[in-house]
């Protein structure tokens, strides 16, 4: 479960969103590239669930909810609040994964954790074409969908789908190599909010066990 929470949260992603104007009639790829170029930071709320064996209508996990905030490149806070509490926070160099129940912090180098992951789309640089093959994926549920396939094989995700409406990403689907799909939806986002310079500095919880990977 911890591994899933880490992978899914790096996903996204988030999906950290922004409101755009003048995008009526634009393709999903055009909308998303404009979104990425114009969104240096964002914050909002997310809901996430895991669908096992999604292609055959498999079992859906209990939804998890929380908040996110990010600043490109490589700074983010992904905070699970219900039904469990877990924090993923990156300061541009290190990724900290804090399990409140265990009072345990795992520290990873951010570069190793991003790469061709969904988080590279959301929190990384704007060089999407470097790590992903991007293509249109049609219309579904009132959204225009974009498919992102990692170019490298050294990733646990087979493909990532991003659903946009009027220039705003509203959903994300992360299909892994085991037939499972993480489904995320986003709401109450704010584009380019004013953020404190020290907003992404991780403060080590008192008495926490620290694991360095």
Q: Which CATH number fits the domain that encloses residue 191?
A: 2.50.20.10
Range of the domain at 81: 2-212
Q: CB atoms < 10 A from the CB of 6, how many?
A: 18
pLDDT at 177: 85
Residue 10, pLDDT score: 42
Phi, psi angle pair for 112, to nearest 5°: -70, -30
Strand 64-71 and strand 168-176: pairing? unpaired
**Distance (Å, whole) CA 178 – CA 110:** 25
**Number of domains the chain is built from:** 1
Chain segment 69-85, per-residue pLDDT in tens: 999 888 999 999 988 89
Q: Are 67 and 79 in contact (CB under 8 A)?
A: yes
Q: What values do phi and psi take at 125, rounded to 5?
A: -80, -175
Please identify every stretch of the chain with a pLDDT value under 70, giving residue numbers as ranges.
1-25, 54-58, 112-120, 125-126
Give 177's strand partners. none
Q: What tokens does 106 get? A: 């795992």
Quote the pTM value.
Answer: 0.78
> In the numeric block, which tokens belong to residue 27?
């393709």
pLDDT of residue 165: 84
């Amino acid at each position: 479960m911890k591994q899933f929470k880490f992978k899914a949260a790096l996903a996204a992603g988030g999906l950290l969103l922004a409101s755009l104007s003048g995008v009526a009639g634009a393709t999903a790829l055009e909308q998303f590239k404009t979104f990425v170029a114009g969104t240096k930071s964002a914050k909002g709320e997310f809901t996430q669930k895991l669908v096992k064996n999604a292609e055959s209508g498999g079992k859906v996990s209990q939804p998890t909810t929380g908040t996110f905030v990010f600043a490109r490149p490589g700074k983010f806070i992904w905070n699970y609040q219900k039904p469990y509490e877990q924090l993923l926070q990156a300061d541009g160099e290190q990724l900290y994964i804090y399990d409140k129940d265990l009072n345990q912090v795992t520290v990873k180098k951010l570069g190793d954790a991003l790469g061709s992951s969904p988080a590279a789309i959301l929190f990384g640089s704007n060089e999407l074409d470097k790590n992903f093959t991007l293509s249109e994926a049609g219309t579904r549920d009132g959204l225009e969908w974009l498919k992102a396939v990692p170019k490298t094989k050294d990733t646990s995700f087979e493909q990532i789908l991003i659903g946009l409406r009027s220039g705003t990403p509203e959903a994300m689907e992360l299909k892994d190599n085991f037939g499972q799909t993480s489904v995320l939806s986003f709401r109450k986002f704010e584009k380019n909010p004013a953020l404190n310079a020290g907003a992404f500095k991780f403060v080590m919880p008192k008495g926490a066990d620290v694991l360095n990977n």
